[in-house]
Amino acid sequence: MLINPETQKFALRWHRDDVKETATDEEERDALGKWHYGIQWNTAIYRDTCLYVVPGSHNHPRSAEQRVRSSTMDPPKDPMDMPGAIQVTLQRGESIFYNSNILHCATYDPSEKRATLHGTMGSIRGGSSRARNILQHGLNWMTEDRFRDNLDERGKKMLDRLIHMKQNAGEVGYSLAN
């Protein structure tokens, strides 16, 4: 679940979930040409205006200007400065489904109530690239007994499948440096 910060504004930089910001045009084209067997989504519990995307950008490398604006690790001062950017506004109960390699960023404001379900669904047919895309933050905490012991039988089966997917994926690595 994505929620608003409690005390100060916060923003994420422009990025793609599984393409490094330092990727060359050729590396980016190659990465975008691979299907990861999955989809990501946000469903708003309250009105949500946090997400900014460049529609269709999951199909092609960044332009020279987009590359400059997304090569920094800093969040943008104004997300609408990104060429082609739109702000996504979800009303309560609405969802957006998207390829996580769409060029996107987000801004968060403590004065705006936010609770947004954020998830991904996919298939193990994507192998290591799928695993890297959804397990990029590691599973070590999930393998601890104190976590497993708090799950019901269904939860334990789901956890076992995640761990199995990671083990069969080989070296998963991390998609993004930060």
What pTM, to 2 d.p., does this model score? 0.77
CA–CA–CA angle 54, 57, 63 (5° rounding) = 95
Both 17 and 97 in one domain: the answer is yes
Both 58 and 19 in one domain: the answer is yes
**Per-residue pLDDT, 54:** 98
pLDDT per position as a tens digit, 129-154: 666 666 555 567 777 888 889 899 99
Both 61 and 82 in one domain: the answer is yes
Q: Which residues form the domain of 12?
A: 2-122
Number of domains in the chain: 2
Both 67 and 48 in one domain: the answer is yes
Both 59 and 12 in one domain: the answer is yes
| CATH value at residue 90 | 2.60.120.620
Both 113 and 127 in one domain: the answer is no
Section 54-66 average pLDDT? 96
CA 117 vs CA 37, 46, 92, 93, 101: distances in Å:
20, 10, 11, 10, 19
